[in-house]
Chain A
Amino acid sequence: MSDPDRMGCFLLGARVHDHVADMEVAVEEMEEAKDDSPLGADAAKWFGDLVRQVRRELDEAESLNCLPDDVRILFQSVEHRSGHPMDRSAMETLHTLSVKLGDPPLLRNLRRAVTSRHGEKAPEP
């Protein structure tokens, strides 16, 4: 396989997850703007634009055979809710998609800090 294909996959992964991170921000803005319809509408439009953008990027990744199955499935779940109010389950799915490839160390660090203060074994996350 040539380098451009591998780099294309790398950049698609970067772009998709950058946009997914923005989708989380858009959802937060939609929530904050509950009583302010113009701002809420702007955030909803941004969210919708991001969904379409990510869909195009995922299609491109699929055509390069580098789209992980679980990313496709998680995104479909979010995509089906686009245009509808985001319920807790949809928010959790979006967050799962956002953190899927990372291992957020915040909770682990907090647990370690507590363990060192109490001399106890920290519960596993």
Chain B
Amino acid sequence: MADEGDADQRLRCYEYGATVQAELHFAERTIESIETRASAPDEVLVLPDAEVRVDKSSIMEIHEETLNSHLERAVDALENGAFCGLPSHTIEAVGDAYAEIKRQVREGNYTLARMNVNKLRARLRHPAVEFG
């Protein structure tokens, strides 16, 4: 039976793993949104308390900022969860991919960026991750 400290660590490891995947999933969906916006005209954004006209470049900027937040959170969760024993090369791979994905989005290579996020998701759910 795990003591209280062990139980807490296990729960934290579950939550870090879940956070990484959730953030990568959001990152993937955000790239899809950027891709859609890239070919759309200027539009009106409606928020619960205000209606404002925001031009396309501002929307793209906001989405890119959102994408970066998701990727940063995924990297943070991986780094904070280092005590869970994940191989260091997996943590490094996500950090490397983060810079690569940001660059691909900036250059308009959305399909490639989405594929790279998807590869990270697959890497984290594949049992091979356990064996390096």
Contact = CB atoms under 8 A, between A and B. Distances in A.
Given A14-B17, A66-B11, A68-B11, A3 B85 contact: yes
B93 interface: no
Interface size class on chain B is: 35 or more
B84 A7 contact: yes
Given A14-B20, A14-B124, A105 B25 contact: no
A102 B22 contact: yes
B14 A68 contact: yes
Given A11-B124, A64-B10, A66-B13, A113 B19 contact: no
A61 B12 CA distance: 12
B116 interface: no
Interface in B3-58: 6-7, 9-11, 13-23, 25-26, 30, 45, 47-50, 52, 54, 58
Contacts, number: 136
B22 A114 contact: no
Contact of A114 (B11, B21, B23, B47): B47
Given A1-B2, A13-B16, A101-B18, A110 B124 contact: no
Contact of B22 (A6, A17, A110, A111): A17
6 contacts: A6-B13, A11-B129, A65-B7, A66-B13, A101-B19, A102-B26
Interface of B: 2, 6-7, 9-11, 13-23, 25-26, 30, 45, 47-50, 52, 54, 58, 62-63, 65-66, 69-70, 73, 81, 83-86, 121, 124-125, 127, 129-130
Given A5-B10, A101-B22, 8 more contacts: A9-B13, A11-B125, A15-B17, A17-B19, A99-B22, A102-B70, A109-B65, A110-B62
